[in-house]
Structure 1
Amino acid sequence: MPSHDETTSAEMAFRQNLDGAIDTFVQTRLESFEPLGPDVLDFVGAAAQFVSGGKRLRASFCRAGWLAAGGADGDDQMTDAAAAIELLQGSALVHDDLMDGSDTRRGRPSVHRDFAARHRARHRVGDPAWYGQSTAILMGDLLLSWSNEMLVAAALRGEPSAARSAIAVFDACKAEVAAGQFLDVTAQTRPDVSVADAMVVVRYKSAKYTVERPLQIGAALAGADATMLGRLSDVALPLGEAFQLRDDVLGVFGDPEVTGKPAGDDLREGKRTVLVARTLELTDAAGRATVINGLGTEAVDDVQAVIRSSGALAAVEADIARLEAEADAAIDALGARDVLGPLALRATRRDR
């Protein structure tokens, strides 16, 4: 088993190569837009800046799938595929912030807020909010296009059967995240939501997209067969669900200095998460009224208090522990503890 230092060193090298691959790809595309003038270059430059940071968790799962299927670390094909997944993540985040009306992302203004501010600063005519919203839609579309271009190019450098398999998984990922996002949007239109319904959103918006599909893309590129891809799903789905439940907790109780988002932002946005659904299931009539009336408002402290007092926070923490145990058992059955163990901890035991 590699030591912690060796694992960290390999991960750091991967991150550097990943950032380099994204920077090189985006710089080339930026140069191709030069004839369109400064406004487009400003837009494309902002897209490049937007994908320049983050946890890189999905890319790390792509690498883990590649390694679990016998691929050699440091391979450029795998790195480029992982970079493509990060561009897809950028697309999803730009659109997610717009749909949620979020003011910030990673401690900076969200894209739609940023471009609305640019509109005002440059004394443009028309509605700044419309300009920012339109720009965010287009930036998300641009990043989605780039992600597809980069993934397909990376896959086609390998064996034809592996390329077909990886592209098919990536296509499924793109469709699933759109469906999961729609389910999430739809949930916000209902006064109430069940835990079962909220868990469907968790699986399709997050678990498959964050863990399962990146793992499978990396493994498929390394030549994994259908059996291996299925065994990776056994790890990925409980781990991805635990990841999203941790995200739900941080969205209500996270430290804004660490998360880069205001405390209780999920409550202000009216999100019907599993944490909220558990609260509605466990609290009394007065607590239900507080939660239902408080979602989507500034009554964050009141809703937080009900979440704690109802036992919902403790119940979701117990769910996370149960899902971690399921994922751990599947990791051991796969014989991939060295590759997946540290990454599993990163996904669920985090503060941002």
Structure 2
Amino acid sequence: MSTAMTVTTSPDDDAAGWRARARSDVANVVREFVAARSRDHLGPAPETRVLADVLRRFVEGGKYVRSAFALAGWACVATPTASAVRAAGSLELLHCFALLQDDVMDQSPLRRGRPAAHVLFAQWHHEQHLSGSAARFGESAAVLAGDLCLVWAEQMLRQSGVDGAALARALPRYDRMRSTLAVGQLRDLVNDARRQPALRDVRAVARAKSGDYTVRGPLELGAELAGASAAVIGALGRYGVVVGEAFQLRDDLLGMFGAPDRTGKPVGEDLLARKATTVMVLARERADSAQRQELAELDRLPRLERSDVDEYLAIVAATGAREQVEGLIEQRLREGMAALSTSALPVDARHRLTHLADLCGNRDQ
């Protein structure tokens, strides 16, 4: 495995440049690890070749947010090593596990502008002229691909080269993060089935799925592996909770209003999936009587056409819910910056975390 790393943490380092190099380094080690595990574990059978091909393509995409936060957490204490980059890469495999199964649960046909894994597996089933439902096969194969990513994620962390004592210290945090992710996903399913959940329930899911899993968990894990003090981990945790919620709130807006050319998903995707999001909850709370009636009529439709989605979006926009969510994002980012300003973190570490917070809250994809 290659050990050439370029991630640096000098005080005069440009945060955006650091972020780009971190992504490149992590992407390289993840690609190498998945290729090696595919050779070792999958074998040459046709069904495992398609599995290896789907996984290879899947891990190459994405923004690599979680690994960036893990390395940023590590860099609050020490310069990231090759072992640190591999440990951070394990979080990207964990994220692949979550996305593979999330697409099945949401019945999303696209991921990053390309066919989702369950769609690719269904296409392979059809091309091979196999018996039974191609769609059912595709969903089952995608779940199993996600299981492999979950197994490989822990293997990559264990074999990262991080000191054994540090691993032992950090693994309970890693376990809690994975458990929180699963519980958050279950609560998300319940909220979708409830159709009109309370705002507190939707925000609780946002904290579990993003605050703890996307930002806070990776940050604290990276810092823990590097030997950070309780005070540093506490400051990162306070920052991580609110910046993670900002990330999810932006995700909710993109799922409703985002541009397909950047997100790879249709406008109104969350509406088409009937997902319960902060935007919809706030729109219902702010709607006047006429708007509530219109929303209720749309809710009763068994299937939404494009014109129905456009009508939904117009009503949501008219309630002012979009502007309120934008205000919540800005508030959470300010709270994150306040958590950093009261900490004893190095200046360059704060610069990187400020940059990452801005990416989370103000991204367009």
TM-score, L = length of structure 1: 0.94
Question: Where does residue 153 of structure 1 map in the other structure?
Answer: 159
2:130 to 108, 118, 124: 124
Identity %: 36
Question: Where does residue 63 of structure 1 map in the other structure?
Answer: 71
| Matched ranges for 1:245-260 at <5 A | 245-260=249-264
Tell me, in whole angstroms, the C-alpha distance in 2 between the residues paired with 1:110 and 1:17. Answer: 25
| Matched ranges for 1:127-206 at <5 A | 127-154=133-160, 157-160=162-165, 162-206=166-210
- Displacement of 1:337 after TM fit? 2.0
Is the 2:67–2:89 Cα contact (8 Å) retained in structure 1?
yes
Question: Where does residue 302 of structure 1 map in the other structure?
Answer: 311
Give 2:240's aligned amino acid.
A
Distance 1:290 1:143, change over 3 A: farther
| Matched ranges for 1:28-43 at <5 A | 28-33=36-41, 35-43=43-51
**Structure 2 residues not aligned, in runs of 5+:** 1-9
- Displacement of 1:2 after TM fit? 4.8
2:212 to 208, 211, 221: 208
Whether 1:348 aligns to 2:357 is no
Give 1:258's aligned amino acid.
R
Tell me, in whole angstroms, the C-alpha distance in 2 between the residues paired with 1:123 and 1:232. Answer: 52
Question: Where does residue 9 of structure 1 map in the other structure?
Answer: 17
- Displacement of 1:13 after TM fit? 2.6
**Structure 1 residues not aligned, in runs of 5+:** none
| Cα deviation digits, residues 286-334 of structure 1 (max 9, x gap) | 3224334435623211111121111111111111111111001112222
Question: Where does residue 337 of structure 1 map in the other structure?
Answer: 350
Is the 1:67–1:339 Cα contact (8 Å) retained in structure 2?
no
Question: Where does residue 314 of structure 1 map in the other structure?
Answer: 323
Distance 1:9 1:313, change over 3 A: closer
1:107 to 102, 107, 113: 113
| Cα deviation digits, residues 2-55 of structure 1 (max 9, x gap) | 557x43333333222211211211111111135451221221221121011110
Distance 1:110 1:276, change over 3 A: same
Indicate the larger mover: 294-303 or 80-89: 294-303
Indicate the larger mover: 48-57 or 38-47: 38-47
Distance 1:327 1:34, change over 3 A: closer
| Cα deviation digits, residues 203-243 of structure 1 (max 9, x gap) | 11121100000001100110013332221111001100011
Distance 1:211 1:292, change over 3 A: farther
Tell me, in whole angstroms, the C-alpha distance in 2 between the residues paired with 1:58 and 1:109. Answer: 23
Question: Where does residue 3 of structure 2 map in the other structure?
Answer: none
Give 1:217's aligned amino acid.
L
Is the 2:31–2:59 Cα contact (8 Å) retained in structure 1?
no
Question: Where does residue 267 of structure 1 map in the other structure?
Answer: 271
Distance 1:223 1:135, change over 3 A: same
Question: Where does residue 84 of structure 2 map in the other structure?
Answer: 78
Is the 2:74–2:84 Cα contact (8 Å) retained in structure 1?
yes
- Displacement of 1:121 after TM fit? 2.1
Tell me, in whole angstroms, the C-alpha distance in 2 between the residues paired with 1:157 and 1:2. Answer: 24
Is the 2:180–2:213 Cα contact (8 Å) retained in structure 1?
yes
Question: Where does residue 7 of structure 2 map in the other structure?
Answer: none
Give 1:147's aligned amino acid.
A
Question: Where does residue 325 of structure 1 map in the other structure?
Answer: 334
Is the 1:177–1:205 Cα contact (8 Å) retained in structure 2?
yes
Is the 1:30–1:45 Cα contact (8 Å) retained in structure 2?
no
